[in-house]
């Protein structure tokens, strides 16, 4: 049966192509991260929380963490429960507001954040090692600009 060419989907615009490229890169990078953290018994979300907490040694409230990592509060609660059960985080009463709790890494959490980050970063370096530094620098600047225009200012910087 012949196909109706006029009923074909439209060709992607440059905006859609950009989104497709970013999505594909995200998938490749996510595979590296998930593969690395699974070896430590962590999920991707648990790793992201550990790294965010390592960037905030003074602690952070759950709402700030949820917003910074673009996680739902329910999803974050599950992650925090698992990390606390495993002795990687603790929830402490805030001195300024006795009703609030801040989340902190335990000594074991600090060690896990360090070890997993080393392995994850090495995997990302291996994945992208064939790309010259100037191309990566330009891509980084362009992606930062796009995220800034979206009001995100690059989520990787939000909690640091």
Cα gap 81→86, rounded to integer Å: 9
The DSSP element (H or E) to which 28 belongs, if any, is helix 14-38
pLDDT in tens, the chain (160 residues): 566 667 788 888 999 999 999 999 999 999 999 999 999 999 999 999 999 999 998 888 988 888 888 888 888 999 999 999 999 999 887 666 666 789 999 999 999 999 999 999 999 999 999 999 999 999 989 988 888 888 876 555 455 5
Q: Which residues contact 153 (CB under 8 A, 6 or more apart)?
A: 144, 147
Q: pTM for this one?
A: 0.82
For residue 63, what is the enclosing H or E element? helix 62-69
């Amino acid at each position: 049966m012949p196909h109706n060419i006029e009923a074909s989907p439209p060709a992607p615009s440059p905006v859609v192509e950009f989104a497709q490229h970013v999505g594909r890169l995200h998938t490749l990078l996510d595979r590296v991260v998930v593969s690395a953290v699974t070896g430590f018994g962590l999920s991707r979300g648990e790793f992201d929380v550990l790294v965010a907490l390592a960037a905030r040694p003074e602690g952070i409230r759950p709402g700030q963490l949820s917003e910074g990592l673009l996680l739902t509060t329910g999803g974050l609660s599950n992650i925090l429960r698992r990390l606390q059960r495993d002795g990687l985080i603790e929830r402490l009463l805030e001195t300024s507001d006795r009703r609030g709790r801040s989340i902190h890494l335990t000594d074991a959490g600090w060690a896990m954040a360090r070890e997993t980050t080393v392995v994850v970063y090495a995997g990302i370096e291996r994945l992208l090692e064939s790309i010259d530094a100037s191309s990566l620098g330009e891509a980084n600047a362009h992606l930062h600009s796009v995220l800034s225009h979206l009001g995100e200012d690059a989520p990787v910087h939000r909690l640091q």
